[in-house]
Chains A and B, each alone.
Chain A
Amino acid sequence: MVSNVSRSMRLVLPGALAFLVQICHAQSPADFQHWRLPASVPHPADNQPSPERTELGKMLFFDTRLSGNGSLSCYSCHMPELGWSDGKAVSIGMNGKPMARNSPTLINGAYNTGPTMWGGQKKSLEDQVSGPVGNPDIMATDIPKLLKTLNETPGYKARFDKAYPGEAIDMSTVAKALANFERTIISRDSKFDQWLDSKAMTAQQLRGLTVFTGKATCSVCHMPPFFTDNGFHNIGMASKDSGRHKVKPLPALQGAFKTPQLRDTAYKAPYMHDGSLKTLMDVVEHYNKGGDTPGVGTVSPLIKPLNLSQTEKEDLVAFLHALSGPLQKMSAPTLP
């Protein structure tokens, strides 16, 4: 009898242990509540949100009169249906000229702390507006002409007066209205966000979360709750673009670019500052091999071969898809 019990134990024990290990590694929403996007969206003191400001910003966002020859608007490179990017490796500027970098998504930009854009060349969403607008290769805006148009268009004049009473229609209020609209571009309803409310992710997505926070160490830089550390890292891209180093000439910043946030990332392919990686699996493969020899600078010590199995890579991609909520669509407003 003792022998039978012992034999049974020998048969059952490995399975029980495996089950226990599985339980111990199971991810629980309770442990991830600090990954939840904060409920309130931060706004600067001099540009608090209002429906009038958002409406005005949306009009300006879609208005091609903001570009020098009337062919481009903010929407041209930041399309809601393409993850608020443009689906191209690098954006196409004025007269069909390719830009140096991939169009960054606008999603959850409201939560950004620190400098914005791939190289951190702008201080805030308001400050960022002057980037493409003032660049002769991107929107090549004729600013005096634009301000004259806005001041002389009754529909715009009335809306500016209502949104920013007592303030002139100038590039400051144009930038504030655009930034106000951009702060409404929020993603907080992905499968992952729903899982935080105890709704289901698939078994594969959950395994992907384990890889994301564990073996692949993605969450070291794509950290909660914004899936970014708002930092600048050289991740071993072959591009010769010196990135953040153009703004801050420090050795560590050669070839360093801002960590992008990851909510709705499935919609914004291609990836990286140069748009050289077409799919999320390409991105995972890039990190799995420890990056490429960087075109400039030294790769961050955080980037090293991960030795992920094919299943782990697929699980990780499944989790990245779980970070995407319903596709955002938006019809262009009627312009004054």
Chain B
Amino acid sequence: LDFKVFAMASSFSASFKSALLVALCLAANAMAAEHPVSQKNLEFSIKKLSIKVGDSVIFSNQDSVVHNVYSLSNTQTFDLGAILKGKSKSVTFDKAGTVEVECAVHPQMKVTIEVKK
């Protein structure tokens, strides 16, 4: 009987830990913000953006031409590939620092993202 009680308690404890972990993750996700940045007339809608670690930026294309958002910054590298007219793609920033973002197709399009802790 003692063993059964111990096993039940142990199982409850493991379940509780899992639940707690999930809750924490959900809370963290709930706290992470999404920042919309549009691409229109061959420009990003903003030149500078300040976000927190864990936040995402959603890049939407409001031009007829194709855009391709990428970064080769030391803080974070990514390449979202082609973004067609009316479509959007997002990227989550998981490290603090400065990320220089450009359009591969139109190198005159730039936005600087400050990712803070």
Contact = CB atoms under 8 A, between A and B. Distances in A.
A230 B42 CA distance: 10
A251 B104 CA distance: 9
A117 to B, nearest CB: 13
A106 B27 CA distance: 58
Interface stretch (B11-19, B28-36, B76-84, B91-99): B76-84
A115 B81 contact: no
A300 B42 CA distance: 17
A221 B106 CA distance: 11
A115 B82 contact: no
A120 B105 CA distance: 11
5 contacts: A250-B79, A252-B81, A256-B105, A300-B66, A302-B65
A223 B65 contact: yes
B107 A120 contact: yes
Interface string B39-71: 000100000000000000000000011101010
A100 B66 CA distance: 27
Nearest to B102: A248
A114 interface: yes
Nearest to B106: A231
Contacts of A252: 68, 79, 81-82, 104-105
A114 B104 contact: no
Contacts of B42: 229-231
Given A230-B108, A248-B107, 10 more contacts: A113-B108, A114-B107, A115-B107, A220-B65, A221-B65, A230-B42, A232-B106, A233-B105, A250-B79, A302-B65
A166 interface: no
Interface size class of B (residues with CB under 8 A): 10 to 19
A166 B108 CA distance: 33
A253 interface: yes
Given A229-B42, A231-B65, A248 B104 contact: yes
A230 B106 contact: yes
Contacts of B70: 250
A222 to B, nearest CB: 10
Interface of A: 113-115, 120, 217, 220-221, 223, 229-233, 248, 250-253, 256, 300-302
Given A113-B108, A114-B108, A120-B107, A250 B68 contact: yes
A6 B104 CA distance: 61
Contact of B106 (A114, A251, A300, A301): A114
Contacts of A217: 64
B24 to A, nearest CB: 37
B79 A251 contact: yes
A300 B104 CA distance: 12
Interface centre among B68, B79, B105 (most CB of A within 10 A): B105
Given A229-B42, A250-B79, A252-B82, A302 B107 contact: no
Contact of A250 (B64, B66, B104, B106): B104
A301 B84 contact: yes
Contacts of B79: 250-252
A120 B106 CA distance: 11
Contacts of A221: 65
Nearest to A120: B107
A231 B105 contact: yes
A252 to B, nearest CB: 5
A295 to B, nearest CB: 19
Nearest to A113: B108
B107 to A, nearest CB: 5
Given A300-B66, A302-B66, A232 B105 contact: yes
A250 B65 CA distance: 18
A301 B64 CA distance: 11
A229 B104 contact: no
